[in-house]
Amino acid sequence: PGNVRELENIVERAVLLSRGEVIGLGDLPLAVQEGADLGAAGAPASLPALLEQVERDKILEALRDAGGVQTRAAERLGISERALRYKLKKYGLAEGG
């Protein structure tokens, strides 16, 4: 993928099209399956790292859209405030963290 938005689209598509709870190689576009080097574009090379990057970006986007109000950001993301606080800490985005 050439940029974060393209990467987000690939992951979102894979989530929608996956047949199980885990995204497999077959759920990704053919260009990615055939060895497009995700690491070369500065994106994480492993799927878990890729998903974490997308999640972190979505959290930042939700916080920005919510004016920094965590309650509203959590609502936009469809998660609890507690889950959002956990993820903020996980990604080093919490105040003082």
Give me the residue spans of the domains in the chain.
Answer: 4-90
pLDDT tens digits, one per residue of 19-35: 777 777 777 777 776 66
What is the per-residue pLDDT for 85?
95
DSSP the chain: --SHHHHHHHHHHHHHH-SSSS--GGGS-HHHHTT--GGGGTS-SSHHHHHHHHHHHHHHHHHHHTTT-HHHHHHHHTS-HHHHHHHHHHTT-STT-
pLDDT tens digits, one per residue of 34-74: 665 555 555 556 778 888 888 888 999 999 999 999 999 99
CATH number listed for the domain at residues 4-90: 1.10.10
